[in-house]
Amino acid sequence: MRGYDTGYNFDGISGERLAERLDAISEIGLTKDSGSHRPGFSGEEKKAKDLAAKWMKDAGLEVRHDGAGNVFGRLPGKNDELPALLSGSHLDSVPNGGHFDGPLGVLTALEVAEAWQATGYQPERPYEVVAFTDEEGARFNGGLHGSEAVVGKSDIEDKLKLVDYNGLNFADVLEHIGLSVDDYLDAKRDQEEIDMFVEVHIEQGKQLEREGLPCGIVTGIAGPCWIELTFTGEAGHAGNTPMKDRKDALVAAAEFIGGVHELPALISDTAVATVGKIDAEPNGVNVIPGSVTLYADIRDIFKETRDNLVDKVLELAEKTADKHQVNIEHVEKMRVAPVPIEDEKQQLLETSFREKNIRPYRLPSGAGHDAMIIGARWPVAMLFTQSKDGISHNPDEWSDMNDCVQTVHVLKNFLEKV
């Protein structure tokens, strides 16, 4: 709490309480590098959710656990029959991750409930603080299982094929923590139960830090498309094959990678494309690469521009392969729909920012979040809190408490307006 401005402690919000709770969660699954290790569906994640549930009960919320292990703390509204406002995030982590990614969203949502209880404020509609299960996906190399259960979008046959790092399948893992596949399917919420979901998350980037702002308004959550591309030429001796006679798959792939870097700027201000994994064969020092397989990660917050960028990347692959007289094949591995945030919600957030004397700043989310899944069925909004040096998924992940508490004030103001 060194450097914390206690002037932010008003309207029932306590920076000390928020900091103490973040610290308590960080002790669960603490690694030797002072990082967090709470894989989804693990004992560590359950312990963190049980602690959050205790705090929810202490704050006067009605707590329940659903069949996916998600935890909900409900504060009744004046008109309790209305669909509920939801806010929260997750408590699981990547291996040796940071202490803010996920827990900050759960605890800021809980801090709003604490503030309302302290000041005697009752929202018009019910309010639920949620801690989703297994957002990060460290267990099965693919996450968001808790929010997917709430939406009911899961292809359960695909999930039953998943195997974790211990060799346990999805059904075994659920049974190990006292759940079942039927429980998981029963976690789906009815459409009329929820009005909207608001998620607070650390930025995991440097834009807010550069702007000198504590928090920002998320304009949309980018939907990723992953494509596997294989350039196939001819392997040959590095010494005896003249340059003009070569069909070097790696030369073609390298030119393609450089071109991919230039494409997003031609499509939109929010589009990005990355080649982050590459395998060359035969992968010998003195052998011309005969085959290169690489993976392109293509994202934008709007489906039309994202899909346009995908088309441009594939066109570039074909042109590059033709130029270097090699073959090209591609397989689409994943295509997730982006979730743009309604402009009405962004405008209302801007009003809350101004009322809290914070300059509104809009920025996209390149990473996926539970809000991306919930947003496929209900309206969503997101707030980012400044991340020091943009570091995330790392023990050095850090957000200043002054920034965290200012985010709580904006969240509280926004939820009261909604």
Burial (Cβ within 10 Å: 0-12, 13-18, ≥19) of residue 289: buried
Instruction: Tell me the pLDDT tens digit for each residue of 371-380.
Output: 999 999 999 9
**d(C-alpha 234, C-alpha 203), whole Å:** 45
Q: Quick check: is 400 in a domain?
A: yes
**Are the CB atoms for 305 and 271 separated by under 8 Å?**
yes
Would you tell me how many other CB atoms lie within 10 Å of the CB of residue 182?
A: 10
Same domain, 22 and 151: yes
Q: Name every residue whose Cβ is closer than 8 Å to that of residue 257 and which is 6 or more positions away in sequence.
A: 275, 278, 294
Nearest to 109 by CA among 81, 84, 134: 84
Nearest to 217 by CA among 376, 362, 402: 362
The CATH number of residue 299's host domain is 3.30.70.360
Model confidence at 152, pLDDT cuts 50, 70, 90, reads very high
Same domain, 355 and 230: no
Alpha helices in 40-126 (DSSP H): 43-58, 103-119
Annotation-wise, does 201 bind a ligand? Answer: yes
Same domain, 213 and 308: no
Can you tell me the mean pLDDT for 30-34?
97
The total domain count for the chain is 2
Same domain, 398 and 307: no
Q: Quick check: is 1 in a domain?
A: no
Q: Quick check: is 381 in a domain?
A: yes
Same domain, 214 and 266: no
Can you tell me the mean pLDDT for 74-101?
97
Same domain, 209 and 241: no
Single-letter amino acid, residue 318: E
Give the neighbor-by-neighbor strand order of the sheet with 223-232: 272-281, 291-300, 223-232, 327-335
Residue for token digits 């991306």? 372
Where in the sequence is the domain holding 320, given as residue range(s)? 223-335
Q: Quick check: is 48 in a domain?
A: yes
Instruction: Tell me the pLDDT tens digit for each residue of 162-174.
Output: 999 889 999 999 9
Model confidence at 10, pLDDT cuts 50, 70, 90, reads very high
Q: Name every residue whose Cβ is closer than 8 Å to that of residue 88 and which is 6 or more positions away in sequence.
A: 105, 106, 109, 110, 128, 129, 130, 131, 132, 199, 370
In this predicted structure, what is the pLDDT of residue 411?
98
Lowest mean pLDDT segment, chosen from 107-116, 155-164, 167-176, 321-330: 155-164
The answer to whether residue 408 scores a pLDDT higher than 80 is: yes
Q: How far is CA 285 from CA 235, 241, 242, 280, in A?
A: 12, 14, 16, 11
Q: Name every residue whose Cβ is closer than 8 Å to that of residue 299 and which is 6 or more positions away in sequence.
A: 222, 223, 224, 225, 271, 272, 273, 306, 338, 366
The CATH number of residue 108's host domain is 3.40.630.10
Same domain, 296 and 357: no
Single-letter amino acid, residue 111: E
Q: Quick check: is 137 in a domain?
A: yes
Q: Quick check: is 60 in a domain?
A: yes
62 pairs with which residues across the strands? 74
Same domain, 148 and 101: yes
Model confidence at 368, pLDDT cuts 50, 70, 90, reads confident
228 pairs with which residues across the strands? 295, 331
Alpha helices in 121-194 (DSSP H): 145-151, 156-160, 170-176, 181-185
Same domain, 201 and 278: no
Same domain, 131 and 270: no
Q: Quick check: is 399 in a domain?
A: yes
Same domain, 240 and 322: yes
Domain boundary (314, 335, 356) is at 335
**Dihedrals φ, ψ of 204, to 5°?**
65, 30
273 pairs with which residues across the strands? 298
Q: Quick check: is 151 in a domain?
A: yes
Nearest to 129 by CA among 26, 200, 43: 200
**d(C-alpha 355, C-alpha 381), whole Å:** 18
Annotation-wise, does 90 bind a ligand? Answer: yes
Instruction: Tell me the pLDDT tens digit for each residue of 276-313.
Output: 999 999 999 999 999 999 999 999 999 999 999 999 99
Model confidence at 23, pLDDT cuts 50, 70, 90, reads very high
CA 72 to the chain's CA centroid: 19
In this predicted structure, what is the pLDDT of residue 143?
85
Q: Name every residue whose Cβ is closer than 8 Å to that of residue 268 and which is 6 or more positions away in sequence.
A: 300, 302, 305, 309
Same domain, 228 and 362: no
Domain boundary (279, 302, 335) is at 335
DSSP state of 189: P
The answer to whether residue 153 scores a pLDDT higher than 80 is: no
Domain boundary (275, 307, 335) is at 335
Q: What is the mean pLDDT of the chain?
A: 96
**Are the CB atoms for 288 and 237 separated by under 8 Å?**
yes
Q: Taken in order 41, 42, 47, 48, is the CA torsion positive or negative?
A: negative
Cα dihedral 61→81→369→212 (10° resolution): -70
